[in-house]
Structures are given as structure tokens and as C-alpha cells.
Amino acid sequence: MAYRPAGIRKPVAQREKVLGKRRRSQNDSNEKSRSPTRRRLTTESSKSSDLAECPQSPQSPTQYPIPDDASLSDGVSVLTPTNSFTDDRPPVSDEQVDEYHLKGHAYQAWIADPTLGGCRCGRARKTLFELFNANNETERFTCPENHFDDPPLDIQEDLQQLGLPTRRKKYRFARLLHYGYDSDGHKRESQYTGPHWSNIAIAQYSFDHPMDTLKYLYFTNVQNDEALPYMQEILYPRHDVDWPKLHRMESQTWEYDTEEYNEILGTTLGKAAACLVIGAWEREALPMSVTD
């Protein structure tokens, strides 16, 4: 799933599959947001990655502000979270899809218009220093993996078409870890109660680059138990598109303000991406009118 703010050129036209506008009912027409004033996600693709990159990645990357012992194990065994998506999961219902569409439509409107009320995504203000050096141990993150490398093979073709580097190890790969604690005080990796993923991603990206340089967002290896079954059961079959297989990745484009775009944006994965865009900048207050 690739997200792009407005003003950024699309990949070459022959790789896109443009979808028609959603047929809206009378009720749908009343949901239209005001005209966009800034920031717009304009493309969604089923192919994805969890890294964001700026063409001007540093030749000598700045070291993360990690305490010397922050990534060391304390000897306590950690329970690794498992993927909850199984074949026994009930099929995605029409009601769920409708809910995804309504939520996605709202997030699209909030991104397009920073003065629109009702948005619960606040400005992300946490820094990496605060995440790694929190006084309260239960709020502290560790960083067991942190290096620069080439991007994943399955998105290199897209990156090359966008004029982004695919060699010379220009992308930072970092894994941040936050432990929850069970009733006995033992660390449990599966009990997470910290900041939202979008806030952490903003802290990571803004450590290396100004946020205004962020143009593309990829997710790879999508296993989210909302997004994955929706795409497999609803989105791809609806358009008679084969599900990607290993070594056969084909990009699919879901155009801005379409049914599919809003549905993807309304899933857990889509909302996380939307919150990253919304949380990267201040929302503008509506001007107040004073009358006698």
C-alpha cells in the first residue's frame, strides 16, 4: 500500500490501473467534505513497505541516541507476538466494508482540510531521544536493529521509476522494541501500550530528515488482520485481480476518492498511514468571528 501526498508525480502510466469514481447515493453526497486546502493522499497500491526514504539520505548517518545498555537483554524470556489471522476467521462482511469506507472517507477529509473538526489524531511530538531515554522503564524503547541498506527487492522497480536510489545502502532499517509487563512484572513483548505506530514512525523519519521531505510511504509483508483479509477477500476479487505471489509482484493503483481508496484507508493499516500524515503537522484552528 503506497501513499503519496499531492504534488508528487505518479509512477509511469502503463503500470497504473485507474478505477472509476464510486457511485454515491443521496446520503453519500451529503458526506462530501469541503474543498481540499492542503495535503492529500492520492494513490494507494497493494504493494507495500515499512520504510520511508528521502533522496538526500546522509552519507554518514547520524547515530541514534541510544544508551549503551538500552538494547541488552535482562535475561527474562520474552513472548513473541503471533499473527492472529487464520483461515478460521469469519469472512469479511458487507457491514465491515461499509465501516471501512466511512472511516476512510473521514480520514481523507481530515488530511485534505486541516481545519476540519472531529479528528482525534494529534500532532506527534515524541522524539527518539525521549523514546530511548524515558525515565520510566515501562515507557522506554530499545533498538535491537539499526543499519543502512538497500531497499527490499519487491519495491525497487517502483523506487527506480520514482527517481529514488536502489543501491548504495541509502535506507535506514531500524526495529524499535517496547515491552509490556504482566502481573508478575515480567516483560511481555505482546502487551504494547505505548505511542501509536504513526508517532514512532514520525520520530524515526524526522531524526534523519525534515518531515516536509517525506513523499512516499510503503508497507511490506502486510499481515494486519483487518487489511489482509479485506484485500484478499474483497478488494482483489472485486476487480478480478490475482493475489501477488512470491517473485511475481505487480502494482495495483487505487485512485484518490474512490470506493477502494477509502475502504483501504479505513482499515487499521490505512488509518495508521493517515495518522502519520495528519500527525506530522499542526492542524489549523478555524478562524473565529466576533460579533457585538
Cα-based angle 156, 176, 263 (whole degrees, multiple of 5): 60
Q: Report the distance separating Cα 214 and Cα 19, nearest Å.
A: 26
Q: What is the pLDDT of residues 115-153, one digit of tens each?
A: 999 998 989 999 999 999 999 888 889 999 999 999 998
Q: Which residues contact 291 (CB under 8 A, 6 or more apart)?
A: none
Predicted pLDDT of residue 248: 66
Q: Report the distance separating Cα 190 and Cα 35, nearest Å.
A: 42
Q: What is the pLDDT of residues 45-90, one digit of tens each?
A: 333 334 444 444 445 678 899 887 655 444 343 333 334 445 577 8
Phi first, then psi, for residue 174 (nearest 5°) are: -135, 140
Contact between 110 and 118 under an 8 Å Cβ cutoff? The reply is yes
CB crowding 150-164: b at 16 or more within 10 Å, else e: ebbebbeebbeebeb
| Cα Rg, the chain, nearest whole Å | 20
Q: Show the low-confidence residues of the chain (pLDDT under 70).
A: 1-60, 69-87, 189-192, 246-249, 285-292
What count of residues does the chain have?
Answer: 292
Number of neighbouring beta carbons within 10 Å of residue 247: 7
Predicted pLDDT of residue 224: 84
Q: Report the distance separating Cα 101 and Cα 260, nearest Å.
A: 8
Predicted pLDDT of residue 113: 94
Q: Report the distance separating Cα 57 and Cα 148, nearest Å.
A: 10
Which of 268, 277, 133 lies closest to 199 in space, CA to CA? Answer: 277
